[in-house]
Amino acid sequence: MRIDLHTHSSVSDGTDTPSQLMRKAAQVGLDVIGLTDHDTFDGLREARLAASEAGVTLLPGLEMSCRLEGASVHLLGYGCDPHAEVLLDELAKIRVGRSGRLPDMLARLASLGMPLTETEIAAQVGASPSLGRPHVADAMVAKGYVADRQEAFDRYLGEGCPAYVHRYSCDLRRGIALVRQARGVPVIAHPWGRGRDQQLTPAVLSELTMEYRLEGVEVNHPDHDADTRQRLGALATRLGLLQLGSSDHHGLGKVNNDLGCETTAPEVYEELVRRIRSRGGRL
């Protein structure tokens, strides 16, 4: 059984529609796919219908933009009730934070000799309710300012870069609580990728597990090298955390994140499903 539990569609910052993503999952031989668009459940209905037609199992989820001590951390929530009002209110607040920083970001890009309009950004967003930096990056590519999203982030849009603008994100501890209140299972995405091991130390992950009931971490992820996977896996074992493996696929929006390039063990997926069912979550 091949299981990839972290993917994105064009409803957030992927390049495949939910239907296209489900068909692609079947084509590459996946049995289970998790759709975890950024800060929204909006793609799940289309994905569920397409998954049934394609003969793959969909695990519904989302990836929530959170912050810990000033650093960006992404929280996956699996099996959440998509009608949980408190969680929906927080997701809406996060999305407003994304779009609210756009004028400042465009002003910074203009000062760097790369003017863009909000109309040009909107052309990249499509039907997504979750505008983000990847859409700005796509507009930069369309204008010929950069070769691809990676260059846009590495040189201009990443944290600490000249066009980066801070935005509202949910406190990570509150995010874990909101996912659990919505009957979902909280899992930290790529916790030690891109230097996040400086914030998500073993002591912090232990606190999040023991006091806030974090339930899992992504171990096998393209952002983690072999040594990171070994150390993180050993820590997760000590803490009793579920250990997921996922591609973080964005279609053409990310390199080295091919669908199914990292997978989750069947027994981990089965335990994840058991927990969702036991608390009345959505499958």
Domain housing 120: 102-157
CATH at 183: 3.20.20.140
Q: Does residue 130 surpass a pLDDT of 90? A: no
Asked if 80 and 203 sit in the same domain, the reply is yes
What pTM does this model have? 0.87
In a domain, 142, yes or no: yes
Average pLDDT over residues 120-141: 83
CA dihedral 53, 56, 61, 63 (to 10 degrees): -100
Quick check: is 46 in a domain? Answer: yes
Query: Could you tell me the pLDDT band of residue 131, with boundaries at 50, 70 and 90?
Result: confident
Q: Please enumerate in sequence order all residues whose Cβ is within 8 A of that of 275, keeping only pairs 6 or more positions apart, or say none.
A: 79, 185, 215, 281
Q: Tell me, yes or no, whether 119 lies in a domain.
A: yes
Whether 164 maps to a domain, the answer reads no
Tens-digit pLDDT profile for residues 80-111: 999 999 999 999 999 988 778 888 899 999 99
Average pLDDT of the chain, as a whole number: 94
| Count of domains forming the chain | 2
Q: Which residue type, as a one-letter code, is found at position 83?
A: H
Tokens of 13: 């910052």
Contact by Cβ (8 Å): 226, 100:
no
Same domain? For 59 and 133 the reply is: no
Residues 180 and 153 in one domain: no
